[in-house]
């Protein structure tokens, strides 16, 4: 039968081994996530949002234009928040004329589905649907 000092030493050794193992796994997971994020960013930069876009129009310019169009956001902010498009990576272009975006006010958020048309005068937006989450 183990005395209490030996039992405590064994438990301590098990805790040390588990801590080292979990630290190694956490580091490996973090490296994998970093690699995936780099791959995603490379891929997204290579794929144009729509082949029908006029030359010289960038995805970032369209997203910036959407962020300025607060009248398209269907909800009022709560607790002093103001709805906006604060994370530009949460805008997705779906097909040649649709855009899905996540907007929030810092307390609540939701998705908006928009139809857009790029003209020489600018971008025309139409809110098609929204879902608050």
Q: Do residue 20 and residue 81 come from a single domain?
A: no
Coil, strand or helix at 116 = strand
Per-residue pLDDT at 95: 79
Q: Do residue 123 and residue 77 come from a single domain?
A: yes
**Domain boundaries, position 63:** 59-132
**Which residue is listed with tokens 């729509």?**
50
Q: Do residue 36 and residue 71 come from a single domain?
A: no
Q: Do residue 63 and residue 117 come from a single domain?
A: yes
Per-residue pLDDT at 58: 82
Question: Is 18 contained in some domain?
Answer: yes
User: Based on the structure, what is the number of domains in the chain?
Assistant: 2
Buried b (16+ CB within 10 A) or exposed e, 51-71: eebeeeeebeebbeebbeeee
Q: Do residue 43 and residue 63 come from a single domain?
A: no
Q: Of 117, 59, 110, whose CA–CA distance to 84 is shortest?
A: 110
Per-residue pLDDT at 77: 80
- Residue 125 has φ and ψ, to the nearest 5°, of -115, 145
Q: Do residue 124 and residue 71 come from a single domain?
A: yes
Q: Do residue 93 and residue 128 come from a single domain?
A: yes
Per the structure block, which two tokens stand in for 44?
């997204």
Q: Do residue 25 and residue 77 come from a single domain?
A: no
Per-residue pLDDT at 118: 87
Q: Do residue 64 and residue 42 come from a single domain?
A: no
Strand duo 98-104 + 122-132: pairing? unpaired
**Confidence tier at 43 by pLDDT (50, 70, 90):** low
Per-residue pLDDT at 52: 67
CB of 78 closer than 8 Å to CB of 50: no
Q: Do residue 63 and residue 123 come from a single domain?
A: yes
Question: Is 54 contained in some domain?
Answer: no
Global pTM reads: 0.61
Q: Mean pLDDT, the chain, as a whole number?
A: 86
pLDDT in tens, 45-104: 555 566 667 777 888 889 999 999 999 999 888 888 889 999 999 999 987 789 999 999
Q: Of 6-10, 11-15, 111-115, which range is least confident?
A: 6-10
């Amino acid at each position: 039968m183990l005395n209490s000092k030996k039992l405590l030493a064994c438990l301590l050794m098990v805790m040390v081994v588990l801590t080292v193992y979990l630290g190694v796994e956490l580091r490996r997971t973090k490296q994998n996530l970093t690699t995936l994020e780099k791959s995603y960013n490379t891929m997204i930069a290579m794929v144009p949002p729509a082949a029908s876009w006029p030359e010289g129009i960038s995805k970032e310019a369209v997203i910036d234009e959407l962020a300025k169009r607060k009248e398209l956001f269907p909800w009022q902010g709560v607790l002093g928040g103001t709805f906006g498009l604060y994370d530009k990576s949460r805008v997705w272009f779906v097909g040649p004329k649709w855009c899905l975006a996540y907007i929030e006010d810092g307390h609540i958020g939701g998705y908006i589905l928009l139809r857009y048309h790029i003209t020489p005068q600018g971008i025309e937006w139409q809110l098609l649907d929204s879902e608050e989450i």
